[in-house]
Amino acid sequence: AGGAMVCLARMYQEGVVVGVPQDLAEAFKLFSMYITASSEDRIVRDPEQLPHVHFTVGVCYTNGKGVEMDDEKACEHFEIAAEMGYVRAMEFCGINSRMYGDWD
């Protein structure tokens, strides 16, 4: 069920699938639900997909796409994704660290 949730979230994010209009707030909601899901929610999270979803949520917070801009929350998600080995997040954290100093 978790993979389907992420797939649907991407459909809402892109708005390119017939019958699924672009809805960034709905996409953000689904991505966030995926991240915070517990075993009680019956959502199986793919450990390989989770870092990418954290990165995507970080981008949403950075750009204010589907959610109010929040650099602090964006950084939290980028750091989680980087700690999970997601290379794009590692690169992003490194770039921002050089430009703006330490994340903390």
CA distance 14 to 60: 13
List pLDDT tens digits, range 13-68.
999 888 899 999 999 999 999 998 876 777 777 878 899 999 999 999 999 999 99
pLDDT at 68: 97
Quick check: 34 and 20 in contact, CB under 8 A?
no
Residues 6+ apart with CB under 8 A from 7: none
pLDDT of residue 1: 62
Tokens 């917070």 belong to residue = 61
Q: Residue 30 is encoded by which pair of tokens?
A: 């689904």
Q: Look at residues 38, 51, 101, 98 and name the one whose alpha carbon lies nearest to residue 79.
A: 51
